[in-house]
């Protein structure tokens, strides 16, 4: 098993993302929504849910096209991409940091 696969297994995306969104609301089977952590100067009410998580597929993204977390025609984020983009670090650095968090060896 690759290190990234091990991180994805040990850090399920829904609870991991929930810590950064102020919680997630279930909206369907394996599907959740919450406030997008990438909207730092959001003029819309904080109750507006824009961020989505598909826990079965281990992916997430934002519904808003102008957001850096939106991926039309692109690839949605997994836990590693989410963390890297949120922290403004490379995927390699995110893998190293998340491996420490979940007790995996780099």
Structure tokens at 7: 């991180």
Angle at alpha carbon of residue 74, lines to 49 and 104, rounded to 5°: 80
pLDDT in tens, 8-34: 999 999 999 999 988 999 999 999 999
Helix (H, G, I), strand (E, B) or coil at 54: strand
Q: Could you give the number of structural domains in the chain?
A: 1
Tokens of 95: 């893998």
- CA-to-CA distance for 106 and 103, rounded, in angstroms? 9
Q: What per-residue confidence (pLDDT) applies to 45?
A: 52
β-partners of residue 52 are 33, 61
What is the structure's pLDDT at 73? 63
Which pLDDT value is given to residue 105?
77
pLDDT at 27: 94
CATH number of the domain at 55, please. 3.90.580.10
Predicted TM-score of the model (pTM):
0.86
Regions of the chain where pLDDT drops below 70: 40-49, 71-74, 106
Q: Which domain holds residue 53?
A: 3-102
């Amino acid at each position: 098993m690759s290190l990234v696969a091990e991180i994805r297994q040990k850090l399920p995306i829904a609870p991991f993302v929930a810590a950064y969104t102020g919680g997630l609301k279930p909206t369907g089977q394996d599907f959740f929504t919450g406030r997008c952590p990438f909207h730092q100067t959001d003029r819309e009410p904080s109750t507006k849910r824009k961020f989505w998580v598909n826990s079965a597929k281990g992916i997430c993204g934002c519904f808003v096209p102008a957001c850096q977390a939106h991926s039309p025609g692109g690839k949605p984020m997994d836990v590693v991409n989410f963390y890297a983009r949120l922290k403004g670090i490379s995927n390699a650095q995110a893998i190293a940091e998340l491996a420490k968090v979940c007790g995996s060896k780099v």
